[in-house]
């Protein structure tokens, strides 16, 4: 395969928390920086615009009304001016952009989705995915998505698919992408994800990501680009301003990592965890082809006469109108 080597950029960065305008400005600056370093694609964390709702894990739902309102006010629709700006800067810098964002619904003033888009280097939206099912306490903020984004898109750098955070444990969702010829998989995560009130038994995103991302890369013989968030002092200050309780639980939760996993399931090069930055990694898609000789689960190493999977790619809708008599 000619021109099989690709420079990837994974943004391990904090949002300008709950401030859409400033977070967008930061993302655009990082896109320009990655392009200057000759990266052909840049990946941002889960819900980067304008931030992940960490309060759901540590605060009572009865105390979160103002935080939800603040998040909603700084969320965007798919046809927003902010998305248009991202499309423009991707085109101007000739780079593919994957962005996580809180998405508003046109059907309801209170509905949000945990969404991710991939924008081509020509400024077109290649794929728009809404997380199928919010995980655990995320249901307090986000609604169920659908299967419309469970697609692999052909790009100039290869075939790209994506899943958000916990979806990367869903074997059916993962296989649905592998079976569409996926070569590059995008995984987005928050900075931390508390599950316990004490340090003991706390959910360790680094360990989880290594298992999930390594498994998907190994099973699908793909490169898995993992972008996780980062929590800075400013984020903690904003949560304190809104009187979020139990912040020590969040502070004591192990942080996530950002990394690139190769088709052998191993981290390719370095990874980032405790500091912000952009992780640059050169990958070679020929490694995917060579690895398919061993296990090709969407090809010769499967039995499609035994196993079958059906996926609904339809976009869900709050209402469907039937044609009736025209108004007189």
Domains of the chain with CATH codes: 5-291 (3.60.110.10)
pTM score: 0.95
CA distance 259 to 87: 25
Q: Residue 40 has what DSSP assignment?
A: S
CA angle 259, 262, 264 (to 5 degrees): 130
Task: Note whether 288 and 221 are within 8 A (CB).
Answer: yes
Taking alpha carbons only, the member of 206, 221, 229, 203 closest to residue 283 is: 221
Query: Residue 140: helix, strand or coil by DSSP?
Result: helix
Q: Is the peptide bond before 50 cis (omega within 30 degrees of 0)?
A: yes
Chain mean position to CA 281: 18
**How far is the C-alpha of 142 from the C-alpha of 145, rounded, in Å?**
9
Two tokens at 324? Answer: 């009736």
Q: How far apart are CA 98 and CA 127, in angstroms?
A: 9
Tell me the pLDDT of the chain (328 aa) as tens digits: 567 899 999 999 999 999 999 999 999 999 999 999 999 999 999 999 999 999 999 999 999 999 999 999 999 999 999 999 999 999 999 999 999 999 999 999 999 999 999 999 999 999 999 999 999 999 999 999 999 999 999 999 999 999 999 999 999 999 999 999 999 999 999 999 999 988 778 889 999 999 999 999 999 999 999 999 999 999 999 999 999 999 999 999 999 999 999 999 999 999 999 999 999 999 999 999 999 999 999 999 999 999 999 999 999 988 888 876 555 4
Please give the mean pLDDT across all residues of the chain. Answer: 96
The helix (H) or strand (E) run that includes residue 247 is: helix 247-252
């Amino acid at each position: 395969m000619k021109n099989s080597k690709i420079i990837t950029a994974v943004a391990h960065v904090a949002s300008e928390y709950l401030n859409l305008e400033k977070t967008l400005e930061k993302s655009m600056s990082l896109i320009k920086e990655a392009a200057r370093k000759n990266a052909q694609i840049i990946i941002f964390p889960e819900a980067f615009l304008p931030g992940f709702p960490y309060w759901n894990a540590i605060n009572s739902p009865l105390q979160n009304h103002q935080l939800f309102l603040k998040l909603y006010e700084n969320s965007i629709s798919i046809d927003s001016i902010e998305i248009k700006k991202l499309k423009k800067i991707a085109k101007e810098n000739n780079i593919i952009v994957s962005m996580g964002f809180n998405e508003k619904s046109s059907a309801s003033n209170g509905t949000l989705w945990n969404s991710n888009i991939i924008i081509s280097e020509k400024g077109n939206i290649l794929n728009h995915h809404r997380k199928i099912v919010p995980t655990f306490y995320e249901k307090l903020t986000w609604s169920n998505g659908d299967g419309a984004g469970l697609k692999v898109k052909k790009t100039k750098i290869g075939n790209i698919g994506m899943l958000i955070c916990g979806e990367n444990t869903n074997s059916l969702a993962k296989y649905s992408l592998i079976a569409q010829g996926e070569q590059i998989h995008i995984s987005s995560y928050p900075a931390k994800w508390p599950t316990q009130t004490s340090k003991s038994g706390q959910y360790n995103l680094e360990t989880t990501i290594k298992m999930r991302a390594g498994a998907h890369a190994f099973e699908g013989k793909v490169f898995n680009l993992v972008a996780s968030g980062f929590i800075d002092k400013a984020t903690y200050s904003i949560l304190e301003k809104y009187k979020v309780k139990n912040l020590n639980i969040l502070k004591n939760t192990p942080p996530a990592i950002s990394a690139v996993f190769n088709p052998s399931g191993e981290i390719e090069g370095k990874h980032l965890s405790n500091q912000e930055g952009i992780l640059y990694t050169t990958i070679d898609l020929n490694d995917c082809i060579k690895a398919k000789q061993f296990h090709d689960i969407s090809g010769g190493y499967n039995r499609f006469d035994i196993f079958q999977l059906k996926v609904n790619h339809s976009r869900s809708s709050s209402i469907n109108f039937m044609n009736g008599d025209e108004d007189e």
